[in-house]
Structure 1
Amino acid sequence: MVGLVVVSHSAKAAEGICEVAAQMASGASIEPAGGGKDGSLGTSVDRIQEAIEAADDGDGVVLLVDLGSAVMNAELAVEMSESEVRIADAPVLEAAVNAAVEATSKKATLESVLASAEEARDYRKLN
């Protein structure tokens, strides 16, 4: 199964996003990677790498990121990882839900999970 990692500047936000996505897609492999090493706000390459390793069962991992340095640190973690990893260019919560639902499909691939995550860019909340 394609794994998911939620990268956020806040550990609580990453955990909450994982919780929401897991409610929509029971059985999905979703790992939070939020906050700095010391629990402060920020992101950590080490935390992201650990989450990638935990989420990857051999089918690859999609990273869902919130802001600025989360992207930069995610890119560094991808470069250092032996796993096949893609970063979704999409709003983190909506993308996490989409990706989690797709990841639970028996036909899911790394590319289909990434595409599902990125579909969230076009969602409108109001008419």
Structure 2
Amino acid sequence: MTVVGIVIISHSRTLAEGVAEVARAMGVGQAVVEPAGGDSEGGLGTSIDLAEAAVAAADGGDGVLLLADLGSSVLTARTLIEDAERDDLLLADAPLVEGAVAAASMAATGADLATVHAAAESAFEHRKTR
């Protein structure tokens, strides 16, 4: 079974790796979740090269969902999509951790890209104080 790949784009390598670790665990070993955090020298920032490499590593043929933390990470994700000229690379408008967990859980079932994307974006509905 191939699954939709997931890429976590963050300003922090540590944050991207941590979110990817949690999402992989929730994807019960079936979800492919790759981190793309920090700049190319290991500092805070974003790197289009790291993000492209993560997309290539996550892409098993069923598409790749991008989740980004803020600011230039979102711009990096949008640039990837524009430059890729493909329709199976999507950015989710979702909270980073919750969206990644929801996406990984859904991807692990073999769901298609649209369903994984919807699962990530549905994470906004899961409130912590209600």
Q: TM-score, normalised by structure 2?
A: 0.93
Confirm or deny: 8 A CA contact 1:46 1:77 kept in the other structure: no
Q: Does 1:72 align with 2:75?
A: yes
Q: Distance in 2 between matches of 1:7 and 1:121?
A: 18
Q: Structure 1: which amino acid aligns with 2:24? A: A
Structure 2 counterpart of 1:37? 40
Structure 2 counterpart of 1:101? 105
The percent of aligned pairs where both chains have the same amino acid is: 49
Structure 2 counterpart of 1:111? 114
Structure 1: which 5+ runs fail to align? none
Structure 2 counterpart of 1:55? 58
Structure 2: which 5+ runs fail to align? none
Deviations 1:18-57 (A, max 9, x none): 1111111122000000000111101111111111111001
Q: Does 1:88 align with 2:92?
A: yes
Confirm or deny: 8 A CA contact 1:90 1:117 kept in the other structure: yes
Structure 1 counterpart of 2:8? 6
Q: TM-score, normalised by structure 1?
A: 0.95
Q: Distance in 2 between matches of 1:111 and 1:99?
A: 10
Q: Distance in 2 between matches of 1:114 and 1:23?
A: 19
RMSD: 1.0
Q: Does 1:15 align with 2:17?
A: yes
Aligned-pair distance for 1:78?
1.6
Q: Distance in 2 between matches of 1:3 and 1:44?
A: 19
Number of residues paired by the alignment? 126
Q: Distance in 1 between matches of 2:127 and 2:95?
A: 12
Structure 2 counterpart of 1:123? 126
